[in-house]
Amino acid sequence: MGDIWLLTGTPGVGKSTIVSRIVLRMKSRGLIVGGCLTAEVRAKGQRVGFEIRDLTNERRGTLASLAGGLGPRVGKYRVNLQDLASIGAKGLTDAAASSELVVIDEVGPMELVSPEFRRAVRGCIDSGKPILAVIHLRLDDDLLNELKAKARRTVEVGINNRDAVAEELESEMDAALKPAGS
């Protein structure tokens, strides 16, 4: 069974930034990293939505938007179920099949409205591949509870510890994940 590392914390604290930093570090070591990353979309200094990106092929799409008229509402955003399935869930499925590290940023309320995304996360867990994931801080969900129960480590990221968390996780993951052929 692959190790699972989880990051959690309040919105905007730097969880995705830490994940992006670790992804770059692991790729620079020659590790095959797949999965998906999310990022805020801003206009005139205001958050207007979220983008989702497949780490394997760099495909990008809209995870959620203020302007979106279709899809389930989560808070003030509308979730783009089509992009979440075709980019997010597909990226996770591909990563579970062919990556040495699976990245899931994030498993939260927006992502969990998609049955395809839920199945893809389940596939990642069942693959036995190492996983680095961001999970919602307070959401109670069977899939999140399973991730937490199987996690090697769960870290709550805050303003005061985010730099130290990034360094600690990089070191821990460096030691645990060896690229093929080393």
Tens-place pLDDT, residues 30-42:
999 999 999 999 9
Q: Determine what percent of the chain is predicted with pLDDT higher than 90.
A: 86
Q: Which domain holds residue 129?
A: 4-176
Residue at 59 is within a domain: yes
Would 101 be classed as within a structural domain?
yes
Smallest CA-to-CA distance from 48 within 64, 30, 29 is with 64
Taking the CB of residue 137, how many other CB atoms lie within 10 A of it? 14
Separation of alpha carbons 96 and 91, rounded Å? 9
* CA of residue 49 relative to chain centroid, distance: 16
- Residue 71 maps to which CATH number? 3.40.50.300
Distance between CA atoms of 35 and 131, rounded to whole angstroms? 9
Residue at 56 is within a domain: yes
User: Per the structure, how many domains does the chain have?
Assistant: 1
Residue 182 lies in a domain: no
pLDDT of 179 reads: 52
Tell whether 27 is covered by a domain. Answer: yes
Encode pLDDT of 94-103 as tens digits: 999 999 999 9
Share of the chain above pLDDT 70, in %: 96
From residue 163, give the alpha-carbon distance in Å to each of 10, 98, 131. Answer: 16, 30, 20
Model confidence at 65: pLDDT above 70? yes
DSSP 8-state class, residue 2: -
In a domain, 155, yes or no: yes
